[in-house]
Structure 1
Amino acid sequence: MRTASLTFQALSKQLKFRHLMLLDALAHTKNMRLAAEQMNVTQPAATKTLHDLEELMGASLFDRLPREMRPTELGALVISYARRALNDLERFVNEINVRKEGGYGHLVIGAIPASFGNIVTAAIKAIKQRRPLLTIKLFEQSSDQLLIGLEQKKFDFIIGRFTENRQKEIFNFESLIDETLWVVVNGQHPLLKKKKLSINELGDWPWILQPASSPSRQLMEESFSQAGMAMPANLTETPSAFPMLQLLQSSEMVTLQPRSAVSEYVKRGILGRLPIKFDRKLSPYGIITHKEDIMSGSAQEFIVTLHEIVRKMH
């Protein structure tokens, strides 16, 4: 296999989408036969496609093991690009089809639960009044998962926080709002009868929390550590607001949540806020876009609408 340097000219002329599709299929199945079936081609054809790609790259992309095909370090890099390119192409195809059918395009947005309560929903309502035929796909996840999706070009943009310093080199960030954290329980919880409460009294209660990589979870772990406490042993994890609210209302679980996500439920008495304060606040959440992307008109309008809503809140 040749070892000459790869050039942009050679890659742009010879790299095909079938190469990228095979890489993605092999990464998922780790098996050439299954990857070929997924692509609806013969196994010899799939094998030749991979051979041609490795010839083009000048390096092996997979280790051929007895029971699986495992990506090499270089293969993992190429697979990452393949997934981004395929996701970008899918978004492009969807946009073309919507426009051809007389629609106003579509947006794919990811958002953390904290942004739903009074920002994202208000922005959707406002933009739908101006563009009723704009299709909006909204996904709720924790920041770490949203950033993975944005790097893979699954979203037009996301609303969340950075979780690693390296992300600042890949994405742009526009701050929206600072967030205060509340410790909340169901509206009839025994702890609500106490006028004074310390974090030391919460360790034995069952907790529902964001995943370990989320900023709110990290803040809680630091707070427990500073109080000389181990993390509660009885934990349930979910990045989604709906199961969190259902579990809180039907149990004696305790949770740490952004104020904006739970304030309305506290106001209505469905949930109760415990008198626990944290010295630290979460970093602001905001709009995160990929530095390589050019925002569509619909995406730019939605982002402007988000900023307008935040200004009205203040």
Structure 2
Amino acid sequence: MSRSPAVPPPSVLSRLRFKHLQLLDILGRTHNLRIAAEQMHMTQPAATKILGDIESMFGAQLFERLPREMRPTDLGVLSLRYASAAVADLGKFASEFHTMKSGGYGHLAIGAITASTAQVVAAAIKEIQQQRPRLIVRLIDQSSDQLAIWLEEKKLDLMIGRLTEARQETLFNFEDLSAEPVWVVVGRHHPLLKQASVEIADLGAWPWILYPPATAIRHLFDETFAAAGMQAPVGMVETPSIFSTLELLQATDMISLQPRAAVAKYVQSGLLGQLVVPIRRTMTNYGVITRKNEIPSQPAQEFMAILRTTAERLGDHVAVPRTAT
């Protein structure tokens, strides 16, 4: 016999207020009751009383009172996650309501990995700006692991990237958008560009600029080196920033594995050089990711439709969309 899902006691739902959620949200970010009180424009004793009321309401301690910080318990971590999402939701509602009331066209917060930003996302933003000239678009260029955190916290309306953890399949919908070929690139004066041919074994003696460990392109790099039986490079810089990478490549003899879409124009213009080396495996496709059980806003739906047609027009498009279950 199946059990009905548990619901909070009616007394909790009737007593929980926005100031309770707001205090939890701020405490989750600061771990400091004094700072939380200041940000809420109240005295510390008042904030202490509100936290006590919250813990009494839930019948559980949410924070350990330590000399230098307020450390969340396991139940506190759970509470903070929901409080943060609720505060973000209400803030988004208030912003959209005010914008529409004032005759505006709303906001759209997009998170995107570097490869998609270089071509597909940039072209899609150009098109939606033509359709909605007053739409305010906030674009964040980051790695998929960080974007997924912000999407879960409702700081983004959608993201263009990859799922990086198995648990995310229960949180998000994923629709394939495009493949992501990679190139090995260097500064235009790198000594390896003078060699007639370059193999993977030639690359181990040089320092590298790499994406952070949790990213798909970093996994591809690690697997490529491991398959060749090679040790980690002699030195490395880790950064998701294509701009920092470009500066370092031009100023040093470092090497980097980069999405083709992000560096092709720099290679074509002569700012960078490409080392044609065999990469045995390709990365999984990136796609459009949204939260499950939530209908995207009208601007987000329009932008997603533009992304699909843009990706198909630019090539490397995957014909059959897939939604994570």
| TM-score using structure 1 length | 0.94
Give the corresponding residue for 1:56: 57
Is the counterpart of residue 219 in structure 1 residue 220 in structure 2?
yes
What are the residue-to-residue correspondences of 1:76-115 with 2, within 5 Å? Answer: 76-115=77-116
Cα RMSD over matched residues? 1.5
Shift of 1:301: 0.4
Distance 2:62 2:84 in 1: 15
Give the corresponding residue for 1:160: 161
Distance 1:287 1:92 in 2: 23
CA contact (8 A) 1:160 1:287 kept: yes
Is the counterpart of residue 182 in structure 1 residue 179 in structure 2?
no
Amino acid at match of 2:303: F
Distance 1:169 1:287 in 2: 15
Write out per-residue CA displacement over residues 135-156 of structure 1, whole angstroms, 9 at most, x where no aligned residue: 1010000000000000100000
Write out per-residue CA displacement over residues 249-275 of structure 1, whole angstroms, 9 at most, x where no aligned residue: 222221001111111211222211101
Amino acid at match of 1:40: H
Write out per-residue CA displacement over residues 120-145 of structure 1, whole angstroms, 9 at most, x where no aligned residue: 11001111111111110100000000
Give the corresponding residue for 1:132: 133
Amino acid at match of 2:138: K
Write out per-residue CA displacement over residues 1-41 of structure 1, whole angstroms, 9 at most, x where no aligned residue: xxxx8625333322111111111222233232222122111
Distance 1:199 1:95 in 2: 52
What are the residue-to-residue correspondences of 1:257-276 with 2, within 5 Å? Answer: 257-276=258-277
Distance 2:9 2:297 in 1: 27
CA contact (8 A) 2:85 2:153 kept: yes
Deviates more, 1:280-289 or 1:243-252: 243-252
CA contact (8 A) 1:175 1:285 kept: yes
SS of match in other structure, 2:108: strand
Give the corresponding residue for 2:24: 23
Write out per-residue CA displacement over residues 221-255 of structure 1, whole angstroms, 9 at most, x where no aligned residue: 12112222221241111112221222222222210
Distance 1:89 1:195 in 2: 60
Distance 2:118 2:8 in 1: 49
SS of match in other structure, 2:284: strand
Give the corresponding residue for 1:210: 211
Deviates more, 1:226-235 or 1:183-192: 226-235
SS of match in other structure, 1:272: strand
Give the corresponding residue for 1:144: 145
Amino acid at match of 1:104: Y
Distance 1:176 1:195 in 2: 36
SS of match in other structure, 2:285: strand
Distance 2:107 2:96 in 1: 6
Fraction of identical pairs, as percent:
51
SS of match in other structure, 1:283: coil
CA contact (8 A) 1:6 1:58 kept: no
Amino acid at match of 1:311: E
CA contact (8 A) 1:6 1:57 kept: no
Distance 2:7 2:62 in 1: 14
Give the corresponding residue for 2:308: 307
CA contact (8 A) 1:207 1:253 kept: yes
Deviates more, 1:43-52 or 1:280-289: 43-52
Distance 1:125 1:177 in 2: 19
Give the corresponding residue for 1:173: 174
Q: Which runs of 5+ in 1 are unaligned?
A: none
Give the corresponding residue for 1:32: 33
Deviates more, 1:95-104 or 1:291-300: 95-104
Give the corresponding residue for 2:15: 14
Write out per-residue CA displacement over residues 168-188 of structure 1, whole angstroms, 9 at most, x where no aligned residue: 110000110111111111222
Write out per-residue CA displacement over residues 17-69 of structure 1, whole angstroms, 9 at most, x where no aligned residue: 11111112222332322221221111121111111111121111011223322
Amino acid at match of 2:48: T
CA contact (8 A) 2:120 2:314 kept: no
Distance 1:146 1:242 in 2: 19
Amino acid at match of 1:274: L
Q: Which runs of 5+ in 2 are unaligned?
A: 1-5, 316-325
Give the corresponding residue for 1:200: 201
Distance 1:11 1:274 in 2: 62
